Amino acid sequence: MTGTLLLVDDEEFVLNALVRLLRTEGYNLLTANSGPAALEVLAHNEVHVILSDQRMPGMSGSEFLSQVRGLYPETVRLVLSGFADLALVTDAINRGNVYKYLSKPWDDELLKTSIREAFEHYELGRRGIQFTSIYENTQEGILITDGEGCIQAVNPAFSMITGYRQDEVVGKKPSHFRSGRHGEEYYRQMWRALLDEGKWTGEIWNRRKNGEIYAERLNITAVKDPQGKILQYVALFADITEHKRAEEALHHQAYHDVLTGLPNRLMYAECLELALLQAARRQLKCAVLMLDLDRFKNINDTFGHEFGDKLLLGVAGRLQTCIRQEDTLARMGGDEFAFLLPLVSDIRHIASATDKILAAFTRPVSVEGHELFITPSIGVSLFPNDGNDVETLQKHAEVAMYRAKESGRNGCQFYTADMNEQAQQRLELENDLRRAIERNELEMYYQPKVLLADGRIVGAEALIRWKHPSGKFVPPSDFIPMAEENGLIIPIGEWLIQDVCAQIRRWCDEGLAVPCVAINLSARQFQSQNLPDMLALAISEAGIEAQAVELELTESFLMNDMEANIEMMVLLKRMGFALAIDDFGTGYSSLSYLKRFPVDILKIDNNFVRDVAADHDSAELVRGVIGMAHGLKLEVVAEGVETPEQLAFLREYRCDMIQGYYFSRPLPAADFAALLREGKRLS
């Protein structure tokens, strides 16, 4: 027989939800939106189980089910209602009008199970089998005491939840189950409500027989005689421990970073808000430190996000060693972290903290066997000097952090008022840079490289120039670091390579003896997996050989993940490209690593060349690099040669090539071609 289930609720969305939940259970579903409407349905249909709301206009669920009991006594009646209706529902249960009480919001599986039990109950009733009382079958624990609070009876669900048998608790008081989590005032308020209002509803932590603390959603009702004297207390409760744990997990997730477990942006803002109030009250300062990892995007692009996440975990652990107990460290997202230093009385404490953070990154971070040198840029803003609210202080700390990056990275900057204007100018410049390629504002210049042995031009370095719409040239030192940070260096680098290769082709077509042209590769370009394919396509489309192009790589970034970098260098070398290490001497590599790099040329940084005639240390370094390079069969280029004294020094120590203003500034392609035609030589 197909069971017929009547759903009664005045809320249409509740009825729809119940129908969706139960339509696959095999019942014949009928619905009504009020008690009178339900009675009309019952008059024309054989209904086996009714699930009714308690609170309905005109006729309550208790009144409706009371009539149903008189008219259709075999129908099994369920109430679905909130705990606020417990007194009425308890009365309906006591009168036998209701088989079971289910609470809103309902648990889907519990509701379906209860309805299946109701149909079983109906079938048993038809066979004349006496059902056990609701008291014995309900999923909720029930505890009944006398008027003095001594336990008289408990139901099986009570024993299932608490672990206590009925004979172990009869005669005791409910205080026997106290967890110790609530103070005496909590219980005083409970008893005050029971005495004044006859009921109490709330959440409470109690203790099971095995000692485990658990959470209950508890409803207590006072049962009174006609004269108002309390005869008994009936407690109905459900175990909500898992629900509470889920709540706590959601709360933790809302306020903490999933990857590192550190406070997140939301929690940081709340901590800062509280710290500002405390600092204002005590007339002290607060410091907001924003920290961003330098060139982290390069690492993510090279090794992937999973590797990057592991690196962030290592960084978070290292940063945690730099804070005091009263400080807050948060991950704001990506590779950005924030420190809160509350109640600062001496600004020197802030400088000490930033020094400690910077010192923590002098050692490489180890991830999956890779030793990575990673550095932070830190910006600092102070309350009340730089702002009086959370948003302003964080914004100013970020502005200072970007200034630290622009100033060479791996450092700290305190916010100053003029940084806002400079930050706005930087943003406008970045927006203009995004359109520079499509507007044909970028142009390549070429600086000759001259062989000291005979003064001939034997090469050139391709240098990018940007003519801003304002008509002024933007220095590469201003826009190249910006392009590296925002990722524009990839399309700019690709355009550069294609443009240089095309220019070499044009010079060849003009009959010029074109020397090898050097192209600087950024860290992001070099670590991109499609670099070989992109280079191969560029020389193929231009119709030139790989030998016409020299690739310059910066020493410092080669030291991060050296094995992978060597593998890429070997591949490029096999393709026919010449390889040079640019700015040699400025990185933190040991010279012993040099023999592992498959390079052809070393370029000595102009900072050392500049001082060779006046500074002993610079002269010794340059002499050492030239001697070591020649010992490894490498050629040496000295950059930044501007004076006869520098030239004489380099000739004396047999430097192979020079590059600098002494011979020529970087030139547009046409002017460089004129030099080649002229056959200009170094005198």
Decide if pLDDT at 75 tops 80.
yes
How far is residue 233's CA from residue 224's CA, in Å, rounded to a whole number? 9
| Measured distance CA(78)–CA(75) in Å, rounded | 10
Q: Which residue has the tokens 């208790």?
A: 62
pLDDT given for residue 522 in this prediction:
85
pLDDT of residue 486: 74
Give tens-digit pLDDT for 601-630. 999 888 888 888 888 888 888 888 898 889
- For 406-442, write each residue's pLDDT tens digit: 777 788 888 887 665 665 666 677 777 888 877 888 8
Q: Is the dihedral of CA 384, 385, 391, 397 positive or negative?
A: negative
- pLDDT tens digits, one per residue of 463-495: 999 888 888 888 888 788 778 777 788 888 999
pLDDT at 127: 60
Q: Contact 322/258 with Cβ under 8 angstroms?
A: no
Q: What would the pLDDT profile of 298-329 be if each residue is shown by its tens digit?
A: 787 777 788 889 999 999 999 998 888 889 99
* Helix (H) / strand (E) containing 551: strand 549-554
Residue-wise pLDDT for 25-53, tens only, equals 899 999 999 999 999 999 999 999 999 88
Q: Which helix (H) or strand (E) holds 631?
A: helix 616-631
Average pLDDT on 267-288 reads 91
Does residue 196 register a pLDDT over 70? Answer: yes
Return the percentage of the chain with pLDDT > 90, whole number: 41
| pLDDT confidence of residue 544 | 94
Task: Report yes or no: 146 and 134 within 8 Å, Cβ to Cβ.
Answer: no
Strand 601-604 and strand 578-584: the pairing is parallel
pLDDT at position 580 over 60: yes
Produce one character per residue of 391-414: b if its CB has 16 or more CB atoms within 10 Å, e if not: eebbbbbbbbbbbbbbeeebbbbb
**Residue 162 clears pLDDT 60, i.e. is over it:** yes
pLDDT for residue 584: 75
- Between CA 592 and CA 564 the distance in angstroms is 18
pLDDT for position 589? 46
Domains of the chain: 4-135 (3.40.50.2300), 141-246 (3.30.450.20), 256-417 (3.30.70.270), 432-678 (3.20.20.450)
pTM for the full predicted model:
0.48
**Distance in angstroms (rounded) separating the CA atoms of residues 9 and 7:** 7
| Residue pLDDT, tens place only, 514-526 | 889 999 998 888 8
Q: How far apart are CA 255 and CA 249, in angstroms?
A: 10
- Determine the number of helices (DSSP H) and then strands (DSSP E) in the chain: 26, 27
